[in-house]
Amino acid sequence: MNKFLLGFAYLCIYTTPIQLGFLFWVSWIIFSNDYSILSLSTDKFLTENLFIIKELVFKYLWPLKPIYQFIWQIPAIIWIAIKIIISTWLGFYLLKIVKKRNVE
């Protein structure tokens, strides 16, 4: 269990730069086009830039459709910022817990 938690913690921490890249990409789209911070939803961003990912989610995760349709209506820049904060915090929190378990 400790190895799984340690791996998940590092995954959360190491994906932060990728999420920051998406945050800068969405920011660049917002400031270079006619979108505002609140008008570019995650759905619009995926439809215009990463359509294949959107189609894969629709195809294989259809039981969760109401959940991700709700999430995809949130403005993209706000949703990505929330994901960055939560995943980085969760990674460092789990890392602290796993290291405390290994010491005892």
The pLDDT tens digits of the residues spanning 20-61 come to: 999 999 999 999 988 999 999 988 998 999 899 888 887 888
Strand partners, 41: 75
Q: Is 74 helix (H, G, I), strand (E, B) or coil?
A: coil
- Cα angle, residue 71 at apex, residues 61 and 35 outer, rounded to 5°: 120
pLDDT value at 19 more than 80:
yes
- Asked if 81 and 49 touch (Cβ cutoff 8 Å), the reply is no
The pLDDT tens digits of the residues spanning 67-83 come to: 888 888 999 999 999 99
